[in-house]
Amino acid sequence: MEKDMAQTLLEIRDLHASVEGKHVLKGLNLTIRPGEVHAIMGPNGSGKSTLSKVIAGHPAYEVTAGSVRYEINFQMRDLLEMEPDVRAKEGIFLAFQYPIEVPGVSNIAFLRTSFNAILKHQGSQELDETQFAEFVNKKLEIVKMDPRFLDRPVNVGFSGGEKKRNEILQMAVLSPRVAFLDETDSGLDIDALRIVADGVNRLRTKDNAIVLVTHYQRLLDYVVPDFVHVLADGRIVETGDKSLAVTLEARGYDWLVK
């Protein structure tokens, strides 16, 4: 029993959530274990983005029922009790569908503050500017990012593809245990998609888990998931392996949604 517990990283049970008074998630169940890649697919409005936001702790999303438990030091803890920054410190990551532009704050200062917040939380020595520059330079290569992007304000004037690469750079720096990638493939041309997918693949380890929230099968050609779930009307209605994504691509969602 204890062994089983340790092998679960994130456990979502009967999750109900609403935003602006609208009931979006209606009893969602999902179990995520270390080393797994999950894909969550579904039509518009099915609740994909809501799930990501609820896990990250966006204040506008209200959980009305159910639980989300997260393994910290071999104990399953109530994730929903934690502030968003505490979740991030404990290894939860959300790559935003629409990354936020932050004028006046340089990308490298943002990354360093973020990284040091986690180090501090873990009781480790924080990195000074020189040490961090050295550390982050090695990570740039994962998403083939020009070092000049580090000195620019966070996401300001970045193209759609550059913003998504910046999200994956943040993921590379923070080494999360559970990463939700919300429509990270949307708005990418094929070259950018390859770079982003390649970056994600390099960040896969046996200890972490990645959840790809996506509309299309395209990304899954590059990042091959262990599980594909179909989300419809706030619930997971079908789970399969990567072949399910191919079926969905061919047949659409209608046959499941009805």
Partner 1 sequence: MNQAIENFKQIFAELQAHRALPALAGTPLAWLERERELAVEKWSVDGLPTRKLEAWKYTSVQAISDAEIVDAGGPDARALAELESVHESARMQVAVAAELVFVNGRFIPQWSTLPHIAGLHVLSLAAALRSDVPYVRNVLSAMRETFGSAAHKGAETAFAALNTSLFRDAAVVIAEDDCFVGSPIILTFIQSGTASSRVAPQRMTAVYPKVLAHFGRHSQGHVIENHIGPNGATYVSTSLSDLHLGDSSHVSYVKLQREGDHGFHVGTTRVFQARDSRLDSLQISLGAKLARHDLKVRLAAPGAEAVVDGLYIVRDHQHVDNHTAIEHAVGDTRSDQLYKGVLDDESRAVFNGRIWINQDAQRSNSSQLNNNLILSMKAEIDTKPELEIFADDVKAGHGATVGRLDPEHLFYFQSRAIDPASAVAMLAEGFAQEVVFRRGSAVVREALLPLVRQAVRGLKVSVR
- Closest by CA position to 39, among listed 206, 177, 243, 207: 243
In the complex with partner 1, which residue's Cβ is closer, 118 or 236?
118
- Closest by CA position to 124, among listed 135, 109, 110, 138: 135
Closest approach of partner 1 to the CB of residue 141, in Å: 21
In the complex with partner 1, which residue's Cβ is closer, 73 or 103?
103
In the complex with partner 1, which residue's Cβ is closer, 85 or 129?
85
In the complex with partner 1, which residue's Cβ is closer, 113 or 159?
113
Sheet with strand 75-78: strands edge to edge: 22-32, 10-19, 61-72, 75-78
Which 3 state secondary structure label does DSSP give 190? helix
Could you give the angle at the alpha carbon of 96 between the alpha carbons of 234 and 141, nearest 5°?
135
Closest approach of partner 1 to the CB of residue 82, in Å: 11
Could you give the angle at the alpha carbon of 140 between the alpha carbons of 136 and 145, nearest 5°?
140
**72, amino acid identity:** I
**How many whole angstroms separate alpha carbon 97 and alpha carbon 237?**
23
Question: C-alpha dihedral over 95, 41, 242, 193, to 10 degrees?
Answer: -40
Closest approach of partner 1 to the CB of residue 157, in Å: 15
**40, amino acid identity:** I
Closest approach of partner 1 to the CB of residue 74, in Å: 22
Closest approach of partner 1 to the CB of residue 170, in Å: 6
In the complex with partner 1, which residue's Cβ is closer, 43 or 153?
153
- For residues 168 and 136, the answer to whether their CB atoms sit within 8 Å is no
**Residue ranges that bind partner 1, judged by CB under 8 A:** 56-60, 83-85, 87-89, 93-94, 96, 99-100, 102-105, 109-110, 113-114, 117-118, 121, 153, 170, 174
Closest approach of partner 1 to the CB of residue 178, in Å: 13
In the complex with partner 1, which residue's Cβ is closer, 60 or 190?
60
